[in-house]
Structure 1
Amino acid sequence: MPTSLYGDLAHLRKDVHMTNHPPSKRADAARNRQRILDAARTAFAATGAETSMAEIARRSGVGSATLYRNFATRHELLEALLVNEVDEVCAAAATVEGGSPEERLMTWLRRFFQYVSTKRPIVLGLLEHTDTTDPVFQSRSRMLAAGEPLLSAAQDAHQIAGDLDLDQILDLVMAIAKIPGTPEYRQPILDAALAGLRGHAV
């Protein structure tokens, strides 16, 4: 068989092999990546920004090689985790469920509260090597763009105070999330604050 023809057939077999298998491999890789991110989120919330890569690999159930293939450094993992969290909060604004505009806004604000409560150790870890001007920290504008339609709908329905903008409301939620104490301690404070948004709606 001519060498060139043999080479063409070899490439064809390789192409067919790659066509048949990559989807499952990509799915496995995506699942492993998400397992790592989920484990890292839990680990950082539980033990702080000093959590080791070995501990994250253990919690996620993947080998160290898989962990480092996805995230070559701890900094890369922290950055990906923060971006992932922001993506999830923004996506939640578009898919949030509720019977009224007010309920949908409140559900999303509680999701934002959860994000703020868990992101602190991630941000502290990133600040060791990253300036706050880095694009990874520019999440505020994305949050505002995601949440504005929810607030506008609730205010148009006269279910939420019209004299507050989303910047102010997010600052309120963030301030509560930073109060020292357990989640059980902060939760009723958040409930009271959100009830206050309804209380003087006009």
Structure 2
Amino acid sequence: MTPAHSRPGPEAPRRSDARRNRERLVDAARAVFTESGPEASLNEIAQRAGVGPGTLYRNFPNRQTLLAAVLRDRIDTLCGHAERLLTADSPDRALAEWLRAFLEHARVNQGLGGSLLLDEPETLGLDCHRRIEDAAAALLVRAQRSGTARGDLAPDDLVQLVVGIALATVRVEDAAQPGRLLELALDAVHAAPRPA
């Protein structure tokens, strides 16, 4: 009789397959939610991922857990971009580039985040907001130390400013307006503070 510890088993491939299925589901959900919003068909997501509905529900028991996974994936991408920009030559340009990416993130994902916060705020948690604020802080502090960003600006103020632009431009017909508003905000980031 072969000892249990030396028997080859299908466990590793199944875990690998399960991981790939989960990644495919998140990728498909990202695309479908972008096209159709947070109420998109879960069956459509499973179909695009090339798996059955049972596989979707084994990985994500409800819509909120899938929304949270997509939003966390997008936040991972956004924060990874911030980390890479910390080594850019110009702290000023790095901050501006990341704020443009954050504005796009906020505009695309507000429906996902809003849906989660309304339905099940504990699913999303505060970790996502904290990670975004930490990314903004790292880039802002670097620009402040180089003397290109005003020293009295707090990271949370910067995050709220960009979120405000995203919310204010949800239904505008002028597609260039969010970018113009961000450029005005960036002018304020680099302006000297006004005397009291």
Range of TM-score over shorter length: 0.7 to 0.9
* TM-score, with structure 2 as normaliser: 0.80
Give the length in aligned residue pairs.
Answer: 189
User: How far did 1:194 drift?
Assistant: 4.8
Matched, 1:31 2:23: no
Aligned structure 1 segments of 4 or more residues deviating by more than 6 angstroms: none
CA root-mean-square deviation: 2.7
**Match of residue 181 from structure 1:** 172
1:1-202 equivalent positions in 2, closer than 5 A: 6=1, 9=2, 11-12=4-5, 14=7, 16-18=8-10, 22=12, 24-96=13-85, 98-130=88-120, 132=121, 134=122, 136-138=124-126, 139-178=128-167, 179=169, 180-181=171-172, 184-197=175-188, 199-201=190-192
- Percent identity over the alignment is 32
- Structure 1, unmatched stretches of 5+, are 1-5
Tell me: CA distance 1:58–1:190, structure 2 relative to 1, closer, same or farther (3 Å). Answer: farther
Q: Which amino acid aligns with 1:17?
A: G
Tell me: CA distance 1:153–1:59, structure 2 relative to 1, closer, same or farther (3 Å). Answer: same
Question: Is the Cα–Cα contact under 8 Å of residues 91 and 143 in structure 2 kept in the other structure?
Answer: yes
- Please give the per-residue CA displacement for 1:152-178, whole angstroms capped at 9, x wherever unaligned: 111111222223221111111111112
User: How far did 1:198 drift?
Assistant: 5.5
Question: Is the Cα–Cα contact under 8 Å of residues 45 and 121 in structure 1 kept in the other structure?
Answer: no
* TM-score, with structure 1 as normaliser: 0.78
- Please give the per-residue CA displacement for 1:48-80, whole angstroms capped at 9, x wherever unaligned: 221121111123333323222211221221122
Aligned equivalents of 2:178 and 2:142: distance in 1? 25
